[in-house]
């Protein structure tokens, strides 16, 4: 006798094209929190998951508000949007339908827009902006990382954040049939430099904002290494 398919467990799903898709990890969706970005356009293709850092220690509610109120360099309203936000405890917040086109990664290319083919994840943390914004009581390891050929002092992401990012990337890569990998250098370490436009335009898998723009250091090496390690068993 056939059994009716069971609905996903409460809170362990993401929303894709308005449908709940079970991912087996706890996600607080916009239906639960009310933190929702407008979804006006759908992507026709998904080839990558891009990780970012917020450059501040604000909670998800403020991240949502600040992105909506973002101004361009000329002072004009320029709302941003991202699909997921991960807080300091590793809690995952979904703020857009995963099939919606976000405004999280403009990139630095003439004819290729990463937003057109990507899902965005913002990981809360100051990273290289630890001198500019308050820590709000969050204590992070501070290390030196060589990003874009320059030694930068960064506030590392916390272990629960790295684990949550790897969990989410694994789930999204499974849903969208993407390889769970990040760009690597000649030594097999996560590449901490921008991809050429040709390489970026054909990349499939996970990456960081730094891979799409030479002016961006996020999300830092620790997050990229966590994603890389999660993907190793798949490539073995």
Q: CB of 88 within 8 A of CB of 158?
A: yes
Above 50 in pLDDT, residue 1?
no
Do you know the residue count of the chain?
236
Tally Cβ neighbours within 10 Å of residue 175: 16
- pLDDT reported for residue 107: 72
Share of the chain above pLDDT 70, in %: 94
Residue 115 has a pLDDT of 95
pLDDT(8) > 80: no
Residue 76's pLDDT band, with cuts at 50, 70 and 90, is: confident
CA distances to 66, 76, 104 from 70, in Å: 6, 9, 11
Name the residue among 164, 157, 144, 159 with its Cα closest to residue 57: 157
pLDDT of residue 214: 94
Structure token digits, residue 13 = 């799903």
Distance from C-alpha of 56 to C-alpha of 133, rounded to nearest angstrom: 6
d(CA 177, CA 51): 18
Task: Give the pLDDT confidence score for residue 5 in this predicted structure.
Answer: 52
Lowest mean pLDDT among 39-43, 115-119, 156-160, 199-203: 39-43
DSSP tag of 176: T
Q: Please give the Cα distance from 147 to 115 (Å, whole number).
A: 22
Can you list the domains of the chain with their CATH numbers? 13-235 (3.40.80.10)
Q: Comparing C-alpha atoms, which of 13, 18, 54 is closest to residue 168?
A: 13
pLDDT > 90 fraction of the chain, expressed in percent and rounded = 86
Q: Is the pLDDT of residue 233 over 90?
A: no
Confidence of residue 7 (pLDDT cuts 50, 70, 90): low
Indicate if the alpha-carbon torsion angle 90, 91, 95, 101 is positive or negative: positive
CB 152 within 8 A of CB 144: yes
- The average confidence (pLDDT) of the chain is 93
Mean pLDDT for 77-82 is 93
Task: Give the C-alpha separation, 116 to 221, whole Å.
Answer: 25
Of 107, 129, 125, the closest CA to residue 117 belongs to: 107
């Amino acid at each position: 006798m056939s059994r009716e398919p069971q609905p996903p467990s409460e809170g362990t799903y993401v929303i894709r094209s308005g449908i709940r898709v079970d991912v087996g990890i706890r996600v607080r969706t916009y239906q639960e929190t009310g933190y929702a970005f407008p979804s006006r356009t759908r992507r026709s293709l998904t080839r990558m998951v891009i990780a970012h850092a917020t450059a501040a220690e604000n909670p998800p509610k403020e991240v949502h508000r600040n992105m909506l109120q973002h101004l361009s360099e000329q002072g004009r309203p320029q709302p941003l949007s991202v699909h997921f936000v991960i807080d300091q405890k590793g809690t995952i917040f979904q703020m857009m339908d995963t099939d919606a086109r976000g405004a999280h990664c403009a990139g630095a290319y003439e004819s290729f827009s990463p937003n057109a083919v990507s899902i965005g994840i913002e990981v809360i943390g100051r990273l290289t902006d630890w001198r500019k914004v308050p820590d709000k009581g969050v204590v992070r390891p501070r290390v030196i990382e060589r990003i874009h050929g320059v030694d930068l002092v960064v506030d590392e992401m916390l272990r629960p954040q790295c684990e949550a990012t790897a969990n989410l990337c694994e789930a999204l890569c499974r849903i969208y049939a993407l390889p769970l990998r990040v760009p690597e250098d000649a030594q097999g370490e996560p590449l901490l430099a921008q991809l050429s436009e040709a390489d970026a335009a054909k990349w499939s898998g996970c990456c960081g904002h730094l891979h799409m723009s030479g002016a961006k250091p996020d999300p830092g090496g620790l997050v990229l290494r966590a994603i890389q390690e999660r993907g190793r068993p798949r490539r073995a």
